[in-house]
Amino acid sequence: MESNEKIRFGGIKLLAGGSCFVSSSPGGKFRLGPQVTGPLAENKLNLTFLTHVDGDRTAFCTAGAMGEGTRAFLQNLAGGQDVFQHQPDTALLAVYPHNKLPGNIAAFIKSLAESKSKFFGLASSLSALSVVLEGRRQIRVLDHLFQHFQFTSFANSREFLAAQEFPEEYVRKAVATYQERVIKVYYVLPQSDLDLWAMSIPTTVVLGKIADALGRFADLGLTIPFLIGIPRLGTEDLLLAFSTARTAEAGDQGSTIRRLLQERIPGIRPMRLTPVAGIFLHGPHFGDRYGIAHSLVEGLERARVTILALSCTISSISVIIRQQELASALLVLSKRFEGPVSGVLS
């Protein structure tokens, strides 16, 4: 952010007392459905957060009370190996709505970098930006967020924390039984002609430089409809993946994006896949009802649609696929999710 003016956001949400699982070496035959979302659904475990990049990394979160049980059955599924690293006592922090604007996303990431706090997942949805972090660091991160953002109901982090419910009270209200054969959503938004970028970056200091680069995308006529970050176990590296969307007038900005990134982080090697398509589902509250994320993942995997990247956070699911597979993906999802298809396919 170049000015001292705070960005106005409608809301901020905190889910404390969680458990996070991260895998950065799933192996070449890894499939998200049979090895993550399927077992979670069979064990009736609700996901509060899920990110995935094809062939590389996965991170997901459950309620803290389910942490050890989740670790045990995942280890059993992997033949005794600890494929996933378990991080207890995490917090999920989200701000909304961000409207896919690069400046908003940059300010959120800059807040995380300034807090110098370790985090285990970063994700965007159509409505929210969220991060999974160490529970003991939540106040530190909140203080930095309130330096950049102004929220409707709270003047500072102290007011916000004073209004929070205890985790067990939230869970008691939220957990429901998943019984719908066809899951109702508010809408399904397909979007074609996106670029997907992926890069490995080290340390929170570099994360601040990435935030600066992303903030300049608005000058190129770009929005950022999708973004995730997953750490690499045993290192300080973070795999960052994001998609960019441009107006017809903007033209191809790939070379400019690459230059902006490399100017700020010499030696970085951003990978680009284009064109790709996104499907954004708003309203499936997978955090409250188990099995919803698995319905999407299993359907796409059965239809042999490659999930290039996936984000499930704050009542929305976002998936990036190959553009030529968009029609097949929408067909299979129409049998599993009930909601109006919004937007125009180009």
Q: Is residue 131 part of a domain?
A: yes
Q: Is residue 38 part of a domain?
A: yes
| pLDDT tier at 82, thresholds 50, 70, 90 | confident
With tokens 């950065």, the residue in question is 24
- Residue 345's pLDDT is what? 44
Per-residue pLDDT tens digits for 167-190: 555 554 545 555 667 898 999 999
**Long-range contacts, 244-251 (Cβ 8 Å, 24+):** 244/194, 244/195, 244/197, 244/217, 245/100, 245/191, 245/193, 245/194, 246/193, 246/220, 246/221, 246/222, 247/221, 249/221, 250/220, 250/221, 250/222
What letters, b where the CB count within 10 A reaches 16 and e where it falls short, cover 26-65?
Answer: beeebebbebbbbbbbeeebbbbbbbbbbebbbbbbbbbe
Half-sphere exposure of 24 (CA within 13 A, CB side): 16
Instruction: State the sign of the Cα–Cα–Cα–Cα dihedral 277, 210, 148, 136.
Output: positive
The residue-averaged pLDDT of 54-73 equals 86
Nearest Cα to 279, choosing from 256, 260, 297? Answer: 297
Nearest Cα to 26, choosing from 52, 44, 48? Answer: 52
Pairing mode, if any, of strands 57-63 and 49-53?
Answer: antiparallel
Number of domains in the chain: 1
**Is the pLDDT confidence value at 317 over 60?**
yes
Quote the mean pLDDT of the chain: 87
Q: Is residue 39 part of a domain?
A: yes
- Residue 105's pLDDT is what? 93
Query: Are 92 and 49 in contact, with CB atoms under 8 Å apart?
Result: yes
The residue-averaged pLDDT of 108-129 equals 90
**Is the pLDDT confidence value at 165 over 70?**
no
Q: Is residue 325 part of a domain?
A: no
- Residue 27's pLDDT is what? 55
Q: What range defines the domain where residue 122 resides?
A: 1-179+198-272
**Is the pLDDT confidence value at 307 over 90?**
yes
Q: Is residue 311 part of a domain?
A: no
- Residue 157's pLDDT is what? 93
Range from 7-16, 71-80, 115-124, 320-329 carrying the lowest mean pLDDT:
71-80
Q: Is residue 310 part of a domain?
A: no
The residue-averaged pLDDT of 151-170 equals 80
Range from 80-89, 131-140, 271-280 carrying the lowest mean pLDDT:
80-89
HEC profile for the chain? CCCCCCEEECEEEEEEEEEEEEECCCCCCCCHHHHHHHHHHHCCCCCCEEEEECCCEEEEEEEHHHHHHHHHHHHHHCCCCCCCEEEEEEEEEEEECCCCCHHHHHHHHHHHHHHCCCEEEEEECCCCEEEEEEHHHHHHHHHHHHHHEEECCCCCHHHHHHCCCCHHHHHHHHCCCCCCCCEECCEEEEEEEEEEEEEEEEHHHHHHHHHHHHHHHHHHCEEEEEEEEEECCCCCEEEEEEEEEECCCCCCCHHHHHHHHHHHCCCCCCEEEEEEEEEEEECCCCCCCCCHHHHHHHHHHHCCCCEEEEEEECCEEEEEEEHHHHHHHHHHHHCCEECCECCCCC
- Residue 60's pLDDT is what? 94
Indicate the pTM of the whole model. Answer: 0.92
The residue-averaged pLDDT of 327-334 equals 96
Range from 24-38, 205-219, 282-296 carrying the lowest mean pLDDT:
24-38
Nearest Cα to 290, choosing from 16, 62, 71, 127? Answer: 62
Q: Is residue 225 part of a domain?
A: yes
Q: Is residue 160 part of a domain?
A: yes
| CATH code for the domain of 80 | 3.30.2130.10
Range from 165-169, 190-194, 237-241, 284-288 carrying the lowest mean pLDDT:
165-169
**Is the pLDDT confidence value at 218 over 60?**
yes
Per-residue pLDDT tens digits for 243-270: 999 877 778 899 999 999 999 988 889 9
The residue-averaged pLDDT of 144-166 equals 89
**Is the pLDDT confidence value at 309 over 70?**
yes
